[in-house]
């Protein structure tokens, strides 16, 4: 998603798609996933159960946003910029 695309408000559906991409990205990175699970107190079953909930997706984005290297890797993998992640996180709401 290019910055120009953000001139229009990000839809809830688009935010959830980016959040789901973040979950998939994290699941593919064993060490980072283990760190997320440890820090969040979530177990793998809960991750599977809650993966599509906007509040959970927001928590995953919060995790990515706290680690510059991880954030950069995700943004590169998805052809996004960090600003898009911040907008997405705000759109998902919660905490």
Q: Is residue 3 part of a domain?
A: no
| pLDDT-above-70 percentage for the chain | 89
Two structure tokens written together for 8: 């229009």
Q: Is residue 60 part of a domain?
A: yes
Q: Is residue 2 part of a domain?
A: no
Residue showing tokens 């107190």: 41
Please state the domain count of the chain.
1
Does residue 35 have a pLDDT over 50?
yes
Q: Which domain holds residue 20?
A: 10-92
pTM exceeding 0.95: no
Q: Is residue 5 part of a domain?
A: no
Closest C-alpha among 33, 27, 22 to residue 71: 22
d(CA 34, CA 40): 10
pLDDT in tens, 55-73: 999 999 999 999 999 999 9
């Amino acid at each position: 998603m290019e910055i120009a695309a953000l001139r229009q408000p990000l839809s809830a559906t688009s935010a959830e798609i980016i959040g789901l991409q973040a979950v998939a990205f994290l699941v593919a990175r064993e060490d980072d996933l283990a760190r997320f699970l440890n820090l969040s107190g979530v177990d793998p079953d809960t991750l599977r159960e809650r993966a599509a909930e906007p509040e959970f997706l927001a928590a995953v984005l919060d995790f990515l946003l706290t680690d510059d290297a991880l954030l950069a890797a995700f943004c590169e993998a998805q052809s996004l910029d960090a600003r898009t992640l911040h907008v997405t996180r705000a759109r998902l709401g919660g905490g």
